[in-house]
Amino acid sequence: MPIKNTPEENAILFVWFNHYAGVLIKTPSKTLVIDPVDIRSRSFPNSDAVLITHEHYDHLDQRLVKEIQKNTNCKVIADPASTKRLQHLIPIEKLIEINPGSEIHLGEVSIKAEKCNHSASNPVTYIITSEDGVKVFHTADSLPFEELASIGTREKFDVVFCTVGIAAGTSPESGFEIAKLTKPQVAVPYHANSVAYQKKFAEILRKEMPRTTCLIPELNKIYQVSKKA
Ligand SMILES: [Zn+2]
């Protein structure tokens, strides 16, 4: 499942690898793994960073994060509650706690944390901007919230991941609200164990936001998304 190819100019590659928020993102220079659970550590032989959004079992597997970190010597960026659980497993100089509003640079790639409307201790969402300026918004398990509109206007997202199931209170409708507020070029319904939920999201999107592309990802398949010309 590792991504061997490098994205074309002004593009990123991504893979959705579990039924939750597990996403692998590859920019021209960096490989980022978000919320790895239900997968083997050797699926990520070249990680530059692991990003954790919150401490729930379907997002944080401490042992797995430890293995990936050990194999690749990558950084681990996590919300405060997850940082606490990882502090004795990850070398201190590699573990970075992040809070909404803060930004970390990995070379020319930017990782910014924002608020997340989900019932965990201090959950975050992540805005990843590639060296070419491709903008990805990983909204973790978030339900819609007002500030998403201003974040969307500010960032002009190319891709937004929208939770459509499993997490408390989420549905194709709540996922659609995320897309409606953030106005991406491409909306990706994820965090679901039934394709029916993703298709329902696509149906609402087609009707309400016909100019937004819906990309229903298959698990473990590589997709490329390019920056809006
Ligand atoms: Zn979840």
Please give the Cα distance from 81 to 53 (Å, whole number): 10
| 8 vs 36, higher pLDDT | 36
Beta strand 124-129 pairing with 109-115:
antiparallel
Please, which pLDDT band fits residue 2 given cuts at 50, 70 and 90? confident
Report CA(33)–ligand 1 centroid distance (Å): 15
Report CA(132)–ligand 1 centroid distance (Å): 30
Q: Using an 8 Å Cβ cutoff, are 215 and 188 in contact? A: yes
Average pLDDT over residues 116-123: 95
Q: What is the mean pLDDT of the chain?
A: 96
Report CA(163)–ligand 1 centroid distance (Å): 9
Report CA(9)–ligand 1 centroid distance (Å): 32
Average pLDDT over residues 22-34: 97
Report CA(211)–ligand 1 centroid distance (Å): 28
Report CA(129)–ligand 1 centroid distance (Å): 23
Instruction: Give the model's pLDDT for residue 157.
Output: 97
* Cβ neighbours of 206 (radius 10 Å): 12
**pLDDT tens-digit map of 56-78:** 999 999 999 999 999 999 999 99
Does position 103 have pLDDT exceeding 90, yes or no? yes
Q: How far is CA 109 from the centre of its chain?
A: 15
Please give the Cα distance from 131 to 133 (Å, whole number): 5
Write down the architecture of domain 11-226 according to CATH. 4-Layer Sandwich (3.60)
Please, which pLDDT band fits residue 1 given cuts at 50, 70 and 90? low
Instruction: Give the model's pLDDT for residue 229.
Output: 66
Average pLDDT over residues 29-36: 97
Report CA(131)–ligand 1 centroid distance (Å): 29
* Cβ neighbours of 96 (radius 10 Å): 16
Given strand 103-106, what is the order of strands in its sheet?
103-106, 109-115, 124-129, 135-138, 159-163, 186-190, 213-214
| 110 vs 2, higher pLDDT | 110
Does position 228 have pLDDT exceeding 90, yes or no? no
Instruction: Give the model's pLDDT for residue 167.
Output: 87
> Which of the 8 DSSP states describes residue 143?
B
Average pLDDT over residues 84-89: 97
**pLDDT tens-digit map of 189-214:** 999 988 999 999 999 999 999 999 99
Instruction: Give the model's pLDDT for residue 33.
Output: 98
